[in-house]
Structure 1
Amino acid sequence: MVDAMEITSSPPPVCLADFAELARSVLPPQVWDYVDGGSGSEVTLAGNRTALDRVGVLPRVLTGVATPRLRTRLLGREYAMPVGVAPMAYQRLVHPDGEVALAAAARAAEVPYLASILGSTPIEQVTATGAEVWFQLYWLRDRGLVTDVLARARDAGCRALVVTVDVPVLGRRFRDLRNAFRLPPELVAANLPGGRDDLAHGGTPGVNPVAVDSGAAFAPALRWADLRWLGEHCELPLVVKGVLDPADAVRAVDAGARAVVVSNHGGRQLDGAPASATMLPEVVAAVGGRCEVLLDSGIRGGGDVLRALALGADGALVGRPMLWALAAGGQAGANTALTLLADELRDALALAGCADPAAARDLRTVPMG
């Protein structure tokens, strides 16, 4: 873990990208690479950004819009904007307040906070912030433990269950291998029974101990029958994260999903997988309004959220920029980042002639470059 850092830069951050260098300046190099890096040669990591940059949004004029409304509904609940904080593991790795600070910022911004099963703070402390918390699950090898974790999330007051399906094994992350990255001993997976992440603190050269630990804890052979079982036994709305193929999105809905998240895990799993934004329109068309669709991977500002909406998404998840802001300034940094994101989205909607997020879904997109 690193000590808290006040945001004292001059000029102060004016967009989410400004937090990246602030975070890099305070984080140990190995931790920065863990946060910033992707799998393999990072082709998919770069592709996420390239794909979004190539989406041109055709603005409408003379629509009479002065101040757009950002409020939206996701999974039947109202939020201040169509954005959620993506699930990310071990947030106390970048700031001592970790998940509590980021959840508190999400509460202040009135957006959902997706809490990782690999969070470094117990889920009960996260929900105690008053945030609207969706709990993210990796499928454990022991189904009895899955049941226990689900009951714990429900009892803590979580509003939805997000099951991540694109991690049969952890992607090979060359930066972490070169750095011999491992978790510090005081950092544990606080939502796993008994911690259950001892292997993530050791290891040998050339072996990623976090990957070894994940392989020991998580079931690599998750099947559609398991997802259907989850849909039948979970009392919370089910969200399936990590879908790229439209056919998989349809099967997820058939298995009980209320929403799917089009995601390649931020470029951290299969290197060479297509960008999430590239597949988004096909997924939206395939599900045909039977579930909500969110975009994850590569979101860096309000303009990207507008792009996601114009491509048919109901909302977007923002990940790495929130870790940058957390590292740079704790909850204050995260508050600033979400405020900037809302301001950018409001401006983007106004410039596109949209009164609200729903109107943005009617915009045309054209390829750029």
Structure 2
Amino acid sequence: MGATVRILNDLGFAKVINEKKDFYQDVKNKTVPTHDVLVTNPPYSGDHKKKLFQYILDNRYDQMMAGDQSDSDCDSDSDSDSDSDSDSGSDSDGSESKAKDNKNKQKTKKKNQSGKGDDSDSDQDSPSASEEMGPTPFFLLLPSWTTTKKYYRAFIKCLADLHQYDREGPVAKEGEERPQKLKRPNLNAALKALSSDEAHNAQMEVDAGVFYVSPTHNKYDFLHPDGAGQDIAPFHGVWFCGGFKNEKIRNAAITRLLKEKGRDITVLKNLEEAQNVGLARTKEQAKERMENNPKQKALRDEARARRDDDEWQKARIKRKKIANRKHAKYNENPEAVAKPAAPAGVEYCRHFLSDKGCNRGAKCKFPHPP
């Protein structure tokens, strides 16, 4: 039994699965175990965080679509077996079980997204999380600076849209005769559509159903296999808590944490509170760091030099093209050659007679002088 399993058992989770499996392969094969709670400390490098956010959005979307289909089946056949339980996340052929998280499951599972394994938690005496909360709650241990990233803003915006659809159902937009079917959220598309000037506001976390929990005085210490990672992180680790169905349940979770006595934790409801306690930088602080940090300054100077070189190359190519398309006698010495007078009723191309010349050639609607 590993430390993760033992600690979660001590916290009251009787069923914990922590296997060494490839998370991304499970997602691709649709063999991620059915679970009630997602708890993970993913790798911070590369695009692991983005992949995790996309998985959470996909999982929430699939739950909602399965719930809509389940309601439809119940309406069409009142004798259907709607009380059946399911404890397995996949059928024998590897496909997802039709029984979804909104059924009466008797176990709670935790999937470790780091690719090193998956964990599953269970408390047999309490109702499943999906019965109380609807969506699958998630608890992600991430660097505090993740809250300031544009891709995180895109994530909570997508999550808020899903929650709104779950509360209100399909709503026709202005100019539409009927509401459109909810599309599967795409984090990359949402990231491109998100304006860089769009300010983060406290309502974003409320709409998305998330909040943050951090140690009050000390950073987290991490236990790694020999030669992997740092024992003392250079940043503050923060728990990103979400997946709550509505604001009432989110507030209940926050209130419960605030009542915990003797726990060295700080509960933060939004980005502004994280900035106030120094766990996240404001735009002004981030800009100042970019200007004063030697490494960032070197990268910025390198980018500027690259840009200046590109602009010079483009200008050189443009000058070469202009020289090639001008009439020979004007190219040699345009000031020394008298510009020919146009015959009566004829207007020569003014671009041809200019220093730049005419780039239309035979397609020009004005005649060129001989």
Q: Same fold (TM over 0.5)?
A: no
Q: What TM-score do the two structures reach when normalised by structure 1?
A: 0.21
Q: Pick the structure with more strand per residue.
A: 1
Could you state the TM-score of these two structures normalised by the residue count of structure 2?
0.21
